[in-house]
């Protein structure tokens, strides 16, 4: 699994499903993160717990594999690399093969593991696919290969509906939990119920959303299946991808916040003072637009007497205005944790980052009624979990 965590997280579940289907132990590689444009690595077990995953299938950390098993079954001279077909980055026919060291972060990944070459060369799995439906063909084709090292993650994207249910085995580590709790304490909303929203509105994201305008018949974009279903048969009320699902207007953001807060705060337990109302909003985003946060705060003042917005750099209050600034922006893993564990969540239908949160909430916590999306209103007769 290559790429940043949220890119890798798109393939974790499908990879687990595939490994189980072909009855092979899955080696859990480090996650890749770009820090100041440099590739860095974080051990899988520093972010996600291993033992819950083992309840589903056999897994092993990369460190354990390299130190304990590789000297026995994956010696240098016995290593091969597997891909669908030749990845030739030039017109030179001599360069045919998987070329696992071509492109970033492929070279950095293998070098980090101490792998400089694959003496046995390349193996191709074409015309098969890395899908559990092809498990018998995979077993037959590669039964003499003790270790299957693949160029990319063996998972389709978007993740199939059966694999999505494996989210119940995904747990953040205690270290991530403690860092998130410390951040909540620093930002002043520890032990307080809160609404968490995920806003995608950076330049790169808007450019991706423009694909919807240029492709009116587009049926799938990134993780849109979390809202619209994964095929035509299961599409809800003939919903199709719209620009609003990808990039929401200011009015739609306000509406989503209002409806979600009113739904939670109108519960009988809240009215009887048995449960504290939500008075804090946590915002995770790809673009820290302070002018937008100020506008949100000013507009929400018309609807809520006292509401605190926790933005990446500002803390705002509908009653007092700005009362804290120049805060340190949370690491994206803290964002993920806080979004996943919030009392109420509003995400982006198209975003894979939102999809990770949604699956975590639904299959770990059964948070169906408190998991929402901007600019999308699902019918009451349809259960979100049926489509995820």
Based on its alpha-carbon atoms, the radius of gyration of the chain, rounded to whole angstroms, reads 23
Residue 376 near residue 227 (C-beta atoms within 8 A): yes
Q: Where do you find CATH 3.40.50.11350 in the chain? A: 174-387
Q: What angle do CA 372, 167, 162 make, to 5 degrees?
A: 95
Strand residue runs (E) in the chain: 26-28, 31-35, 38-42, 59-61, 81-83, 122-124, 195-199, 280-285, 308-310, 315-317, 321-324, 344-347, 371-373
The pLDDT assigned to 49 comes to 98
The pLDDT assigned to 269 comes to 87
Residue 342 near residue 192 (C-beta atoms within 8 A): no
Residue 11 near residue 166 (C-beta atoms within 8 A): no
pLDDT digits (tens, 9 = 90+) for 270-316: 888 889 999 999 999 999 999 999 999 999 999 998 899 999 999 99
The pLDDT assigned to 351 comes to 95
60: part of which helix (H) or strand (E)?
strand 59-61
- 174-387, CATH topology level: Rossmann fold (3.40.50)
Report how far apart, in Å, the C-alpha atoms of 58 and of each of 18, 21, 52, 96 are: 12, 12, 11, 34
Strand residue runs (E) in 234-332: 280-285, 308-310, 315-317, 321-324
| Distance of alpha carbon 321 from the chain centroid | 33
Q: Which residues are within 8 A (CB) of 218 and not within 5 positions of it... i.e. 6 or more apart?
A: 211, 212, 240, 241
Residue ranges of the chain whose pLDDT lies below 70: 1-7, 89-94, 230-239, 378-388
CA distance 213 to 228: 18
The pLDDT assigned to 3 comes to 39
Residue 54 near residue 13 (C-beta atoms within 8 A): no
Phi-psi domain of 370 (left: phi exceeds 0; alpha: psi -120 through 50; beta: other):
alpha
Q: Where do you find CATH 3.40.50.11340 in the chain? A: 5-169
The pLDDT assigned to 126 comes to 96
Give the closest residue to 219 by CA, choosing from 247, 239, 205: 239
Residue 31 near residue 1 (C-beta atoms within 8 A): yes
The class level of CATH for 5-169 reads alpha beta
The pLDDT assigned to 239 comes to 65
Beta-bridge partner residues of 82: 123, 150
Q: Which residues are within 8 A (CB) of 266 and not within 5 positions of it... i.e. 6 or more apart?
A: none
The pLDDT assigned to 64 comes to 97
Residue 219 near residue 240 (C-beta atoms within 8 A): yes
Q: What is the pTM of this model?
A: 0.91
**Range 34-38 contact pairs with CB under 8 angstroms and sequence separation of 24 or more:** 34/4
Here the tokens at position 282 are 């946590």
CA distance 87 to 111: 19
pLDDT digits (tens, 9 = 90+) for 309-338: 999 999 999 888 777 777 888 999 999 999
């Amino acid at each position: 699994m290559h790429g940043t965590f949220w890119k890798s997280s798109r393939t974790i579940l499908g990879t687990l499903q595939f490994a189980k289907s072909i009855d092979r132990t899955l080696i859990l590689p480090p996650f890749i993160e770009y820090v100041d444009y440099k590739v860095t690595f974080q051990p899988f077990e520093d972010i996600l717990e291993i033992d819950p995953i083992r309840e589903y299938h056999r897994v092993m950390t990369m460190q354990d594999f390299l130190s304990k098993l590789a000297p026995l079954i994956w010696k240098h001279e016995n290593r091969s690399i597997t891909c669908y077909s030749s990845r030739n980055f030039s017109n030179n026919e001599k360069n045919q093969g998987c070329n696992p060291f071509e492109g970033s972060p492929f070279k950095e990944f293998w070098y980090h593991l101490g792998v400089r070459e694959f003496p046995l060369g390349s193996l191709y799995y074409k015309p098969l696919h890395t899908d559990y439906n092809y498990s018998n063909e995979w077993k037959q084709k590669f039964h003499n290969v003790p270790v299957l090292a693949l160029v990319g993650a063996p998972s389709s994207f978007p993740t199939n509906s059966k694999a999505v249910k494996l989210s119940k085995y995904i747990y953040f580590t205690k270290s991530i939990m403690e860092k998130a709790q410390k951040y909540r304490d620093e930002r002043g909303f520890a032990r307080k119920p809160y609404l968490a929203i995920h806003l995608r509105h950076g330049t790169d994201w808007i450019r991706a959303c423009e694909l919807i305008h240029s492709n009116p018949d587009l049926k799938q974009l990134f993780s849109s299946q979390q809202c619209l279903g994964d095929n035509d048969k299961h599409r809800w009320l003939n919903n199709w991808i719209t620009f609003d699902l990808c990039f929401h207007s200011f009015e739609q953001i306000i509406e989503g916040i209002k409806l979600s807060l009113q739904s939670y705060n109108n519960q009988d337990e809240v009215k009887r003072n048995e449960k504290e109302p939500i008075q804090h909003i946590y915002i995770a985003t790809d673009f820290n637009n302070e002018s937008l946060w100020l506008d949100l705060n000013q507009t929400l003042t018309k609807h809520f007497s006292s509401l605190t917005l926790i933005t990446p750099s500002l803390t705002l209050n509908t009653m007092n205005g700005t009362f804290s600034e120049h805060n340190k922006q949370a690491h994206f893993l803290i964002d993920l944790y806080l979004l996943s564990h919030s009392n109420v969540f509003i995400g982006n239908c198209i975003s894979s980052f939102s999809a990770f949160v949604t699956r975590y909430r639904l299959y770990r916590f059964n948070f169906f009624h408190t998991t929402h999306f901007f600019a999308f209103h699902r019918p009451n007769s349809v259960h979100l979990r049926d489509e995820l």
